[in-house]
Amino acid sequence: MNILITGGSGFLGLALGKRLMAQGHTLTVLTRHAANTLAKLEGSITTLDSLAQITPADHFDAVINLAGEAIFASRWTPARKQLLRDSRIDLTGQLVSAIERMAVKPEVLISGSAIGVYGNGGDTLLTEQSAFRQGDFSQQLCADWEAEALAAENLGVRVCRVRTGLVLAADGGLLQRMLPAFRLGMGGRLGNGKQWMSWIHRDDWLAMVERMLTDRTLSGAYNATAPYPVTNSEFTHTLASTLNRPALLPVSAWLLEKMLGEMSLLVLGSQRVLPERWQANGFGFAYPSLQEALAACLTGH
């Protein structure tokens, strides 16, 4: 397949690019870091620095939209919030416009989202059919992002929305931030630890995207999470146990709110999410349990 990827230099985009190239697909990557992306993908790809470069003659079998500034990179000032919105919503609008220009439309648009779209759900089990709890910035960000992508359906394109949970892998993401403290025995629960964390091993996330590329019966929203979400207390205990270290230093909700401001919702909010549509589809998880997933990550898989 000839595939266009936006956000191809990120934590998920690079891993996906490597996997697709290994399978013989042809890639065009929208990235602001062309040299770095070319070096890391170690193959023959085409890079774009603007969607305006796409012409009516360009044709892609599939488009995968993963672009977006890192949500947890810095405090949510008004300027940062606008950047987060522009890098997702505005860019997705530009992407749909580029698809509209193409004489031959792609068969599928796979567009990123996050389980934050459900809002703070407490202990409620959340599936793809659950209503959104409107109110906080990250929830509205995800909802608007998805709405922008759905416009491609009016062009006859199959649209899949990937509502991604906390992605676990050996070389980045959540674990990269957590491991230094936990290896020293200085990790611990966040707040009261009762908030739910819905996670997924990156290999399972990649397999989901592959399925969306090839299975034309798939469309709509899919939760990219493992089938067994855990509380923050259980997550931190399992990580410490896997490392054979204690988890001695819980961090109070008050301190997190002081340090992170509104962004503290990302770590204190609760989403107990089930991948109901994947389970109904018979998707086989390589890492269904957190212990299996962490063990694999810590051995470099």
187 Cβ contact list (under 8 Å, min separation 6): 178, 181, 236, 239, 240, 245, 247, 248, 249
Summarised one tens digit per residue, pLDDT across range 11-56 is: 999 999 999 999 999 999 998 877 778 777 877 889 998 999 999 9
pLDDT value of position 182: 93
pLDDT value of position 172: 86
pLDDT value of position 37: 81
Question: For residues 17 and 34, is the Cβ–Cβ distance under 8 A?
Answer: no
Summarised one tens digit per residue, pLDDT across range 182-207 is: 999 989 999 999 999 999 999 999 99
Percentage of the chain beyond pLDDT 90 is 83
pLDDT value of position 201: 98
pLDDT value of position 73: 85
Task: Name the CATH superfamily, with its identifier, for domain 2-298.
Answer: NAD(P)-binding Rossmann-like Domain (3.40.50.720)
pLDDT value of position 167: 97
Summarised one tens digit per residue, pLDDT across range 109-128 is: 999 999 999 999 999 999 99
Higher pLDDT pick, 170 / 141: 141
Quote the CA–CA distance of 7 and 252 in Å, as a whole number.
34
Mean pLDDT for the stretch of residues 287-294: 97
Where in the chain are the domains? 2-298
Summarised one tens digit per residue, pLDDT across range 126-165 is: 999 998 887 789 999 999 999 999 999 999 999 999 999 9
Q: What is the mean pLDDT of the chain?
A: 94
The pTM for the full model equals 0.95
